[in-house]
Amino acid sequence: MENHDIPTRPEETLDGTVVFNVPFPKDLKDLAGMAPVIVKQPYHIDYIHSYGQDSPFFAGLANRRLLGSRCTACGHTFGTPRMSCMACGGDCEWVELPQEGRVHTFTVCHFGSEEFLPECPYVLALVEFEGVDTLFLTRLLGVDPARPSLDWIGMKVRAKFRRLSRFKPTDVWFVPA
């Protein structure tokens, strides 16, 4: 196997020359062997995304409050809020979650989706809260991404909030408590 730490070729990117003409055979029979013509088709969208019934969660983050939900019928408590209970189908009400929990599991992402590539390496974690039945996905900061360890599981962590809210779930993140 090659050593992947030392690059052996430059990164392929989608910028470059635009071609205005290609060679073409005299005899149409020769078209069967023609190489494919490949063009760039850009596509950009801005969505008008509503958080709908989940909106109070994001308003909560802007006010340094971490909200979950609890089923009014069976009491199942959700660490990531949902207004319809997955356990019984009952309606849920908003509850405030403790701002301290423990790392249930985690990973360090060294690659990712295009949007998050500049942030690599970053640590994703699922956090568990005392008395809450489900988990919460978040970024874990304040740990060294170069030295991941299974011992991080079970670590006490606490929530921190963005001062200038972006109304995204990353308005909250966790650090070792």
- If the CB atoms of residues 86 and 177 are measured against other proteins, the closer one turns out to be 86
Amino acid at 68: G
Give the pair of three-digit tokens for residue 149: 């360890």
Is there binding between residue 99 and other proteins (CB under 8 A)? no
Is there binding between residue 15 and other proteins (CB under 8 A)? no
Q: Of 109, 141, 158, 161, which one interacts with other proteins (CB under 8 A)?
A: 109
User: Please, which residues have CB within 8 angstroms of residue 111's CB and are 6 or more apart in sequence?
Assistant: 117, 120
Is there binding between residue 141 and other proteins (CB under 8 A)? no
Q: Which residues bind other proteins (CB under 8 A)?
A: 1, 4-5, 12-14, 35-36, 38, 41, 43, 49, 51, 54, 78-80, 82, 86-87, 104-117, 119, 122, 124-126, 133-139, 148, 150, 153, 168-170
